[in-house]
Structure 1
Amino acid sequence: MTAMAAPPAFDTGALREGIEHADADALLALYADDAELRVVDRRTQPSHPLVVHGRDQIGALLDDLYGRETTHRLEQVVLQDDRLAFLESCRYPDGFRVLVSSVAGLRDGRIVDQTSVQAWDETEPAQ
């Protein structure tokens, strides 16, 4: 009887390192070549989300997001079979915060489709 090889596992450690060190290249390595990423927020609402396709477009978005002067923290991560969910908190130097909740489908240990819903502070943060 031949043992079947398990599919590659998603690397949650690399996800944490990429997010918390604002390393867009490390994060991009977690996406499949044909991945799709959707972002929903106040400006890109559910009926018209921001949608980017493929590693080039996703890489450009990640470069923009993680190139900003913000701190990023992976608050929670859940991995089960071919599904991933994680919660990321971000903070700008002026105190404004962003909370991002993401769910993703996986194939061969890489993200193939992701939807992220983000909420931004809308009032001046208390100092």
Structure 2
Amino acid sequence: MSTMSTPDGFDAEALRRGIEGRDAQVLLSLYADDAEIRMVDHRTQPSHPRVMHGRSAISEMLTDVYGREMTHTLESVVVDGDHLAFLESCRYPDGVRVLCSSVADLRDGRIIDQTSIQAWDE
């Protein structure tokens, strides 16, 4: 995983710290004020994804997810200019696993538009 960033580039190391450290505030700092996240899973399918627009909605989601008692691992991250892709795996204490794949567009080194697809054990 690359952890380098340029002055105007995306900080992949902060993404790792935020995910693996369960730090919603570090993660929130990676999003632009007008960012939007679309989440697709078995409940919020592609035709009706869960949409979070703006830092307040994104903060609420990040606080919920990273406040849960579970481990989070950044498996891989790729930054190419104004594009980002990353894979995150998670595990609840009871062994249930979650896998989340995300792609995003960047502006000035911050996420402005992200689509995430997640699946978990049932």
- Is the TM value for this pair above 0.5? yes
CA contact (8 A) 1:34 1:112 kept: yes
Which residue of the partner structure matches residue 95 of structure 1?
95
The answer to whether residue 107 in structure 2 is matched with residue 115 in structure 1 is no
1:112 alignment partner AA? I
Identity %: 70
Structure 2 counterpart of 1:67, one-letter code: G
Matched, 1:47 2:57: no
Deviation at 1:85, TM superposition (A): 0.1
Paired residue secondary structure (2:95): coil
Q: CA RMSD in A?
A: 1.0
Q: CA deviation at 1:19?
A: 0.1
Where structure 1 has 5 or more consecutive residues not aligned to the other structure, the ranges are 1-5, 123-127
Instruction: List alignment gaps of at least 5 residues for structure 2.
Output: 1-5
Is the contact between residue 7 and residue 108 of structure 1 (CA under 8 Å) also seen in structure 2?
A: no
The number of residues matched between the two structures is 117
1:21 equivalent in structure 2 = 21
CA shift for structure 1 position 7 = 6.6
Q: Is the 8 A contact 1:31 1:110 kept in 2?
A: yes
Of the two, which has the highest radius of gyration? 1
Structure 1 stretches of at least 4 aligned residues deviating more than 4 Å after TM superposition = none
